[in-house]
Amino acid sequence: MAKAEKPAEGTAEGHYARALREMAIRYEGLVKGFSILREMDRIDDPRESFERICVQMLEVVAAGLSAENSSLMMAAEGGAFELRAASSPLEDEGRYYGPGAWKGRRFTAGEGVIGRAAATAQAQRVADVTADPDFVVVEGSPVTVRSLLCYPLLSGSRVLGVLNLSHSRSGFFSVESENILSLVADRCGRLLAGHLAHDRNRRSQEHYRLVSENAEEGILVFDDADRVVSANPAAARVVGMPVERLLAGEVSWEDGVVAEDRAAFRAHRARVRQRGVRDVIEYRYRDMDGAIHHVEEQSSQTSDLTGRAGAIVSILRDASERKRAESEKVALEEQLRHAQKMEAVGELAGGVAHDFNNLLTGIIGNVSLARSIHDGKSIHSLLAEAERAAKRAAAVVKQLMVFSRRSPVERKPADVRAIIEEVAGIARNTFDRRVQIQVETADDLRPALVDAGQIHQVLLNLCVNARDAVLERGPDSGPGGLRITLGASNVFVTEEDRRANPEARPGWHVCVSVSDTGAGMDEETRRRAFEPFYTTKGPERGTGLGLAIVYGIMKQHNGWIVLDTNPGRGTAFLLYLDAAEEVAMEEPGPAAPAGVATGTETVLLVDDEDMVRTLGRKILERLGYTVLLAANGEEGLALYERERGRINLVLLDLTMPGLAGDEVLERIRAMDPDAKVILSSGHAVDAELTFAGTARPTACLGKPYTYGEIAAVLREVLDGDGA
């Protein structure tokens, strides 16, 4: 059979043959393109990772276009393009490089053939890279590249990356190869963009899950019916059950809120839902084991998964440990202040003992002298002197009891002048007699908003320090000698003052000062004066807590301290306290009428001290009363139950062994709610503040008391209305 001859190119038959070949090539290209697209659809699986999608895409395109090697360069931070995935027959399978993992060559837009494709958003086909001046040789690459086809992958108008195909033979990629790649490039771009967004969302969700599961704060999501629809382990720990049971709706969150806090909790949730605002609340929560948690909750409104408003996201912090630590801190601070008070009382004990010995000498000496003479007028004079000495002793005891008492900070309008005079009295009675104590206060001094007991402690602490300073300096204390001055004046603080001292606050204040003629402080001592445990005294003379406690008390009073001192010029502490609003200071009551009020009623006197019972009986009988005596609480109760039909009043000691006075009072009131009872104590007692309900006495009588005082109180109670 004769061999068919090839039609001549110039003939009609030749043109027809060429057209058929071109159609066949285009058809073959379309078939390859559609085949690649079908493979793209196959690998487009949302369950696949982004890494696997990149590698599979390269493998499909490279196989479809018979490329020896393929790579994907993607845009990175800073506008550069870095290798993200590669596939080569020299490797068993394709590789993926995470963002920033590729340590090789990076390309910027316009740099190299890859950069040219990125910059122009056009395909770049190079028949022989050795003849292209833009081609960048990657040193150390095991791949031989002669023919190169680079195609930009777009997401909208943004170049997402560049897909690169290479072959070791020159001119391997043709126009048809470029056309096929243009057919599938759009699908590759959409595939990468979709999976990249999905991957970012998945990673974000994973990060959120990790943050949520490892967060110390509890995270809860409630739907519009207040059901828990999402919870992390920290929230589950608060309620005391696994997350799964919490999500199963086994308990309502609100049911765990302590009953006393539930109304505030509901109001908090209502504010969040009605106003759509973020709101914060603290409440107590009882877990499944009955333990109480102090919870801080910050809630805000959001939309649920269906888009409906009404869901609430709550961030919870279990503040139980912080609350416990705060309570312990407050208790320790109170113990520290009390211990420092006791330290100061101990330091003053020597002076108190000396003063008491003088007073007791006056009492015992006058009484013993009175017993040795028979002149009525002289006896009366001697007893009067003994009584004056006894009253001075009682005043010293009262001042020390005020100083040493424990009480929370309760700021009230107070007469600062009276506090200063009281502290000055203690100092005069207990300090070395060589130290002069002066008081200088303004005539129009405003009341200050203070806790009187705390300020009493502050001033006495400063006075003790001042005493040590002047005694340490000794005779060389300047023209004023050994002197401590307590003063007070009204001061109006301006904004300019505040600029000079950031702690200052504008407005009216009472400035209380304690100054001395001691040696003063150097800069180092002045700077560290208020540090806890810092002291210039020896270990046997102080703990360094005094000024630290002074500073703490002033902070509790919203006040501040100015320390004015220089070596050789003495020291002055200026304490700035809030002036109270103009209030009428309590005026002293009317003077007691002349004479002593008497009576004929029956009084039950209950006291465990023989001396007090004997004295009380003598006073009461001299006043005309019938007296029944009991030596303790049990005996007093029995006597009252037996004789209550004729007992008009009970004079009851507060502190007794066995049944204390307040317990006896409650039992008497249980028998007779209208019983008139006077509680007597050596401690300062305020019936309104100390007692409540049936344990509140009709009146209180402080020890020691005088003949006239007991007479007046008895008549006031017996003549008054009700208990």
pLDDT of 136 over the 70 cut: yes
Residue 233 has a pLDDT of: 81
Q: Which residue has the higher pLDDT, 698 or 4?
A: 698
Single-letter amino acid code for the residue at 90: L
- 259 against 21, higher pLDDT: 259
Q: Average pLDDT over the chain, rounded to whole?
A: 79
**Per-residue pLDDT for 629 more than 80?**
yes
Name the burial class of residue 387, with classes exposed (0-12), middle (13-18) and buried (19+) by CB atoms within 10 angstroms of its CB: middle
pTM greater than the 0.85 cutoff: no
The tens digit of pLDDT for each residue in 696-719 reads: 888 888 877 778 888 999 999 999
Per mean pLDDT, which range of 104-113, 136-145, 557-566 is the poorest?
136-145
Q: What is the mean pLDDT of residues 7-18?
A: 59
Determine the Cα–Cα distance for residues 231 and 248; give it in Å rounded to an integer: 11
Sign of the Cα torsion 382, 384, 387, 391 reads: negative
Alpha-carbon span 34 to 54, nearest angstrom: 19
Question: Over the stretch 278-336, which tens digit does the pLDDT of each residue have?
Answer: 888 888 988 888 888 888 888 888 765 555 566 888 888 887 788 887 777 777 766 66
Q: How confident is the model at residue 647 (pLDDT cuts 50, 70, 90)?
A: very high
User: What is the pLDDT at residue 301?
Assistant: 84
**Across 484-501, average pLDDT:** 89
Mean per-residue pLDDT, 9-37:
64
- 539-543 mean pLDDT: 46
How confident is the model over 7-19, as a mean pLDDT? 59
pLDDT digits (tens, 9 = 90+) for 614-628: 878 888 998 999 999
Rounded mean pLDDT of 386-390? 75
Per-residue model confidence as pLDDT tens digits over 440-467 = 999 999 999 998 878 887 888 888 888 8
Q: Which is more confidently placed, 361 or 58? A: 58
Other beta carbons less than 10 A from residue 413's beta carbon: 18
| Section 413-434 average pLDDT | 86
Distances from the Cα of 301 to the Cαs of 26, 590, 681, in angstroms? 60, 65, 60
3-state secondary structure string, 562-600?
Answer: EEEECCCCCEEEEEEEEECCCCCCCCCCCCCCCCCCCCC
Is the pLDDT at 361 greater than 90? The verdict is no
Residues 526 and 563 sit within 8 Å (Cβ to Cβ):
yes
Find which of 197-201, 505-509, 682-686 is predicted with most confidence, using mean pLDDT: 505-509
**Quick one: angle between helices 416-430 and 320-372, nearest 10?**
60
Whether the CB-CB separation of 488 and 447 falls below 8 Å is answered with no
As given in the structure block, the two tokens for residue 473 are: 């300096």
* CA-to-CA separations, 417 to 223, 269, 509, 527, 681, in angstroms, rounded: 62, 51, 14, 30, 27
Which range has the worst mean pLDDT, 248-252, 448-452, 609-613?
248-252
Residue 16 has pLDDT above 70, yes or no: no
**Rounded mean pLDDT of 594-600?**
77
The closest alpha carbon to 558, from 715, 371, 409, 669, belongs to 409
Q: How many CB atoms lie within 10 A of CB 70?
A: 24
pLDDT of residue 417: 93
pLDDT at 208 over 80: no
Give pLDDT tens digits for 142-193.
778 899 999 998 888 888 889 999 999 999 998 888 888 888 888 888 888 8
Instruction: Show the beta-strand stretches assigned E in 47-195.
Output: 69-75, 81-87, 95-96, 124-126, 147-155, 158-167
- Amino acid 288: pLDDT: 82
Q: Give the pLDDT score at 676.
A: 93
| Cα-based angle 436, 437, 443 (whole degrees, multiple of 5) | 135
Could you give the domains of the chain?
13-202 (3.30.450.40), 215-318 (3.30.450.20), 327-406 (1.10.287), 411-582 (3.30.565.10), 602-718 (3.40.50.2300)
Chain-centre distance of CA 26, in angstroms? 76
Average pLDDT over residues 342-346: 58
Looking at residue 589, its pLDDT comes to: 37
Round to whole Å and give the CA distance between 83 and 161.
10
pLDDT of residue 668: 93
**Residues facing 148 on adjacent strands:** 126, 166
The CA-atom distances, in angstroms, between 147 and each of 83, 120, 142, 542 are 19, 20, 15, 92
Q: Which long-range contacts (CB under 8 A, 24 or more apart) does 47-50 make?
A: 48/195, 49/199, 50/195, 50/196, 50/198, 50/199
